[in-house]
Amino acid sequence: MSWIFIGAATAAAVVAALAARPRDPEFAIISMEFTSFKLNFPVLDAELILTIKVTNPNVTSISYSSTEMSIFYDGDQLGTATVEAGSQPPRSSQVLRVPARLSGVQLAHHGKEFVANILKREMVLDATVDIQGFAKVMWWDHKFRVHVDSHVTVDPVFLDVIDQENKSALDLFVS
């Protein structure tokens, strides 16, 4: 009879350990919308809102500090987006609206490529961001850092997201 109890306890411990192991969060850009243009003579800078779905697959809630996302076009930094500090419950998804600013000067350096992308209605943007915060497990705060690389294909005319690939890597610091 004791072997059955030991076997059941071991199986429960394995299931709990697998459920509690840290998992990478998931990110998906849902949409982009222009909010304004600013004249930065002789070109225009663009301000837009990125709508991003973030999923926390972990069994603990997380809190994170504000950070800045870098947006690249053809290998050069085109702009930035500010991710405000926040928190997210365990095993949940939420939608963030993130303000971004794109430099018309940087885009002008790639004028020929940009015009070609407009004509074929397909433009590739890359973005990177490092998010730092902590996950609360019982009474301990475990610090973490998530690095996210995004490769997004958009329609440069209507800013529709055509395709995307997002990779994230979670580093958990036990102290």
Query: Does 11 reside within a domain?
Result: no
Domain tally, the chain: 1
89 domain residue, yes or no: yes
**Per-residue pLDDT reduced to its tens digit, 144-163:** 888 999 999 999 888 889 99
pLDDT exceeds cutoff 70 at 33 = yes
Residues in the chain: 175
Q: Which CATH number is 33's domain given?
A: 2.60.40
d(CA 120, CA 113) in angstroms, rounded, equals: 11
Structure tokens at 89: 């419950």
Mean pLDDT within 116-137? 90
In angstroms, the CA 36 to CA 71 distance is 18
Is the per-residue pLDDT at 16 higher than 50?
A: no
Tally the C-alpha atoms within 13 A of residue 91's C-alpha that lie toward its C-beta: 4
* Confidence bin at 5 (pLDDT 50/70/90): low
DSSP 139: T
Domain that holds residue 151: 24-173
Beta strand 123-137 with 161-173 is unpaired
Distance CA 145, CA 102 (A): 26
Range from 5-14, 36-45, 57-66 carrying the lowest mean pLDDT: 5-14
Do 58 and 88 form a contact (C-beta atoms < 8 A)? no
Three-state secondary structure call for residue 159: coil
Q: Is residue 6 part of a domain?
A: no
Q: Confidence class of residue 19 from pLDDT cuts 50, 70 and 90?
A: very low
- Sign of the Cα torsion 29, 122, 114, 118 reads negative
DSSP letters of 72-106? EETTEEEEEEEEPPEEE-TTEEEEEEEEEEE-HHH
